[in-house]
């Protein structure tokens, strides 16, 4: 050891606990995803589930998403015109930064997301009125009934409650992060190139995507919002 003042590293006397094996990740099939979207309608988690499943955003990114980064009408006057989109620029991580620099991205919204977020905006307005002086304004898209930020436990509990009673789904076996895994799996099944999937989920390169989502990636022979609209269909957008 340094300068011979300690003859033995006491850490070597400690045994390292084995810990518990991680739970294998999984993804919803298309049929299961459709069942989840239908079954979650009318719940407080509906918009969250739709956006997570159809954009692949991380749960910590959605919990930090604010309305000033949501553009439900797009920017039709921009050159070129921009479709409805969200700016995934923040997370609940320390300092508010996204996981990596490449994680900071702007994602076009499938029509189903646009519809769900319009409804979320309206529902939150009613929550604000009902809460009165108890409302805390943080500008969050997904918040508690009084406007407070959600933590991971809040989201997981509400997510599993929204899945209760859906045929073919055991709510206790699923977590919100697996909506992101499902996004990757659904795109890969439709032949979307790995490079495109990597950009959509905010990875620095395809190696990261392959490592994390190796069970969800299918062999690719042949972007996000367009493909998801093709899979699920787009609900009519509000004017």
The residues assigned a catalytic role are 58, 99, 180, 203, 213
Element (H, E) at 195: helix 194-201
Assess whether the previous peptide bond of 80 is cis (omega < 30° from 0): yes
First-to-final CA distance of the chain: 71
> How many residues are listed for the chain in this entry?
239
Q: Which residues, in sequence order, are CB contacts of 3 under 8 Å at separation 6+?
A: none
Closest CA to 162 of 179, 146, 148, 139: 179
Provide the β-strand partners of residue 219: none
What SS3 state is found at 75?
Answer: strand
d(CA 85, CA 225): 9
> What number of helices (H) and strands (E) belong to the chain?
9, 3
d(CA 172, CA 105): 31
């Amino acid at each position: 050891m340094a300068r011979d003042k300690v003859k033995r590293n006491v850490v070597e006397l400690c045994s390292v606990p084995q810990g518990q094996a991680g739970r294998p990740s999984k993804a919803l099939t298309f049929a299961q995803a459709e069942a989840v979207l239908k079954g979650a309608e009318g719940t407080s988690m509906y918009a969250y589930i739709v956006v997570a499943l159809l954009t692949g955003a991380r749960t910590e990114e959605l919990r930090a998403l604010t309305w000033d980064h949501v553009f439900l009408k797009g920017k039709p006057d921009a050159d070129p015109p921009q479709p409805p989109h969200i700016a995934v620029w923040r997370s609940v991580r320390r300092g508010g930064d996204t996981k990596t620099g490449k994680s900071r991205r702007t994602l076009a919204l499938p029509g189903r997301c646009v519809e769900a977020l319009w409804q979320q905006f309206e529902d939150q307005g009613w929550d604000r009125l009902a809460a009165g002086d108890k409302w805390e304004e943080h500008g969050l898209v997904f918040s508690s009934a009084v406007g407070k930020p959600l933590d991971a436990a809040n989201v997981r509990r509400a997510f599993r409650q929204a899945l209760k009673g859906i045929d073919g789904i055991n709510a206790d076996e699923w977590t919100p992060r697996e909506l992101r895994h499902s996004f990757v799996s659904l795109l890969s099944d439709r032949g979307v190139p790995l490079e495109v999937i990597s950009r959509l989920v905010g990875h620095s390169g395809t190696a990261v995507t392959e490592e994390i989502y190796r069970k969800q990636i299918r062999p690719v022979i042949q972007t996000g919002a367009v493909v998801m609209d093709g899979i699920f269909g787009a609900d009519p957008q509000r004017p």
